[in-house]
Amino acid sequence: MLNILTKLGKNTRCSFNKLGKSGFFLGQVLIGVGDVFLRPRLLSKQLYSVGVLSFLIITVSGLFIGMVLSLQGYYILSSFGAEEALGVMVAASLVRELGPVVTALLFAGRAGSALTAEIGLMKATEQLSGMEMMAIDPIKRIVAPRFVAGLISVPLLTMLFSAIGIIGGHLVGVGMLGVDEGSYWMQMQSSLDFYDDILNGVIKSLVFGFVVTWIALYEGYSAVPTSEGVSGATTRTVVNSAFATLGLDFILTALMFGDI
């Protein structure tokens, strides 16, 4: 019993310790963010590898999720005779929930893990130390551009995901199941609210992008500089990002849409 308590205490202390360290790290990164915009070339390189290279997985996933939503939605809605609402249902689920959440999860797996591994390996091969000894701050030169790139990419990828998902829903709903094309779009247009739905979705994606990129960069930067350490850090990036995304999604949803 005492053992369990000690262990619990130790883990709690460790978590707080980590929280403090990652907070300090974030502070340093934020200080470096201003300089990123003076070096557009560094930023565009990262936007390419973090954002553009994620296009494929986001597009394909968005398409399939939209198609499945449409199939499932049609099945339920048609039992009430409300097939015309299919467009709203697909669009609202995507814009409010699935778009931001699934994009963040996919982004953590595709780009976050890559960021962690890259920075962890740079640390393990003394590239970061080498930079420090050349009087070049690795947080400014290496970490900050990647952070900004993540921050910009995630909301854009989320919009892409939702847009493609709505098209996927259209393909299945209108193309295969015979929902009326006009009502698919019209209902969507009249029922979705710009502030309530779209803007809140964008806010979610901004928060998720911030947190996932922060986790990925922190795990890489603080990785134990060995092959084992880097592999552990990569795993932690994906797992912690998933927890953070899902947890924050609940909180944000409650704040935005719930009357709590």
Partner 1 sequence: MSFDNNLVSVQHLTFSRGDRIIFDDISLGIQRGKITAIMGPSGTGKTTLLKLIGGQIFPDAGTVEINGQNVHTLARKDLYSLRRRMGMLFQSGALLTDMNVYDNVAFPLREHTKLTESMIRTLVLMKLHAVGLRGARNLMPNELSGGMARRVALARAIALDPMMIMYDEPFTGQDPISMATLVQLIKSLNTILGLTSIIVSHDVHETIAIADYIYVLSHGNIVGQGTPEEINNSESEWVQQFMQGAPEGPVHFHYPAPDYIEDLLTFDKD
Give CA–CA dist 38/161, Å, rounded. 30
224 binds partner 1 (CB under 8 A): no
Of 60-68, 89-97, 122-130, 240-248, the segment contacting partner 1 by CB under 8 A is 122-130
Interacting positions 137-156 with partner 1 (CB under 8 A): 137, 141
**Both tokens assigned to 14:** 């460790």
Pair 149, 46: CB distance under 8 Å: yes
Q: Which is nearer to partner 1, 104 or 122 (CB)?
A: 122
How many alpha carbons lie under 13 Å from residue 17 in its C-beta half-sphere? 7
Pair 138, 217: CB distance under 8 Å: no
Give CA–CA dist 229/223, Å, rounded. 6
Q: Which is nearer to partner 1, 19 or 52 (CB)?
A: 52
17 binds partner 1 (CB under 8 A): no
Identified binder of partner 1 from the candidate list 132, 176, 235, 243, rule CB under 8 A? 132
Pair 107, 49: CB distance under 8 Å: no
31 binds partner 1 (CB under 8 A): no
Q: Which is nearer to partner 1, 1 or 133 (CB)?
A: 133
Of 61-69, 96-104, 119-127, 223-231, the segment contacting partner 1 by CB under 8 A is 119-127
**Both tokens assigned to 152:** 């910009």
Q: Which residues bind partner 1 (CB under 8 A)?
A: 122, 125-127, 129-137, 141
